[in-house]
């Protein structure tokens, strides 16, 4: 299966980007498929945005938990830039 939350999906997305999984950041609105899938695949950071599929409490509903929870995509970009330069 090549779709979220498959490990192969996340690694395929990084193929050709010259970015090791541990340095990658996944931003998604689905705590289970996006966040858990990415972290279980070895992606270093997974941000959960409070938009789209997000529902209150999702951040603690599945493990592993998101690295951080942010309001939207703009806040995710700000979070990443503040930590990665």
Task: Let me know if residue 1 belongs to a domain.
Answer: no
Residue found under tokens 């990415």: 38
Q: How many structural domains is the chain composed of?
A: 1
Mean pLDDT across 7-13: 90
CATH number at residue 76: 3.40.50.1000
Looking at the chain, the whole-number percentage of residues with pLDDT higher than 70 is: 96
Residues 6+ apart with CB under 8 A from 43: 10, 21, 22, 24, 25, 26
Tell me the DSSP string of 14-67: HTTTT--GGG-EEEES-IIIIIIHHHHTT-SEEEEESSTT--TTHHHHSSSPPS
pLDDT tops 70 at residue 38: yes
Q: For residue 43, what are its two tokens?
A: 């992606």
In the structure, what pLDDT confidence band is assigned to residue 84 with cuts at 50, 70 and 90? confident
The helix/strand/coil state of 72 is coil
pTM above 0.85, yes or no: yes
| Segments forming the whole domain that contains residue 23 | 7-84
């Amino acid at each position: 299966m090549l779709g979220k939350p498959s490990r192969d999906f996340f690694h395929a997305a990084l193929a050709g980007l010259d970015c090791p999984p541990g340095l990658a950041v996944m931003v998604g609105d689905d705590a289970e498929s996006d966040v858990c899938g990415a972290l279980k695949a070895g992606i270093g950071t997974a941000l959960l945005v409070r938009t789209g599929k997000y529902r209150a409490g999702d951040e603690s509903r599945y493990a592993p938990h998101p690295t951080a929870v942010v309001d939207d995509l703009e806040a995710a970009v700000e979070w990443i830039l503040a930590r990665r330069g």
